[in-house]
Amino acid sequence: MAKAAWVTGGAGGIGAAVARRLAAQGYRVLVTDVDVDRGSAVADEVGGVFRRCDVTDPADSLAAVAAATDAFGGLDLAFLNAGVATGFGLEEGFSPEAYRRVMSINLDGVVYGVHAALPALKARGGGNIVATASLAGLTAVPFDPIYGANKAAVVGLVRALGPLYAGDGIRVNALCPSFAETAIIADVRDALLGAGVPLLEVSDVVAAFDSILAGSGTGEAWFVQVGRTPEPFAFRNVPGPRTDAGDKAPSADTSVQAAFREG
């Protein structure tokens, strides 16, 4: 039986490119997006199925997974890729409505997608969840703090979910590209090029996605940077507790994840 994948934000850019790659690898692909015309065209191109899905609505994500299981008999991979640029800060130009929209797409969409996909992946005996984050989730982003906040939240979510679902055979990882040649950078592309910032090709991001699937790790955030081989970002461990005498506390030898697992 062919494996089945669900791609959000699949109407263009990284989502469409990954849908094409997965289809070439033998996956049956459910393409979802709010852009019905372009999303349907990608689905037709890859021999898949299209469904309109607004990732800010949890019911839409549940319906998308149901459509995938109905069409393909199950789900093996969820690529939670839908995202938008922010383009405003916390002073002039800020509005609660705009803030909630970008947080709902970039963060809530991943949360709702994971929630929808987990039962189907468990029913398959395991699988993969890959969420598109950004290098902005790995470093300070003073020029776009809201975008940095929602992408950092995606990274934190993935790092927590990885060990949580490893026992179910479900790997959860994040794809963290720098600026890539996609529509999301349209408003800043000239400024980036003028500042000498090199842009990733979408094919570079797809290659990193392939590396995530080919690996065995979970809870990882894979950086994708021009001229570098993509790999998991090496997070430094937080300082452990100490006794009043300055010695390592006994509990410091037990990881936070293990403590939660052990109840």
Residue partners of 225: CB distance under 8 A and separation at least 6? 135, 177, 178, 200
pTM here is: 0.91
Residue spans of beta strands (DSSP E) within 83-197: 127-132, 170-177
Q: Which of 27, 112, 147, 165 is catalytic?
A: 147
Q: How far apart are CA 263 and CA 247, in angstroms?
A: 26
Is there a catalytic annotation at residue 27?
Answer: no
Sequence length of the chain is 263
**Confidence (pLDDT) at 192:** 65
CATH number of the structural domain spanning residue 68: 3.40.50.720
| Ranges in the chain, pLDDT < 70 | 181, 185-186, 188-193, 196, 250-263
Contact between 222 and 213 under an 8 Å Cβ cutoff? The reply is: no
Which residue matches tokens 């939240």?
A: 153
> Cβ of 134: how many Cβ atoms within 10 Å?
29
Q: Which domain holds residue 211?
A: 4-261
Number of domains observed in the structure of the chain:
1
**Confidence (pLDDT) at 104:** 98
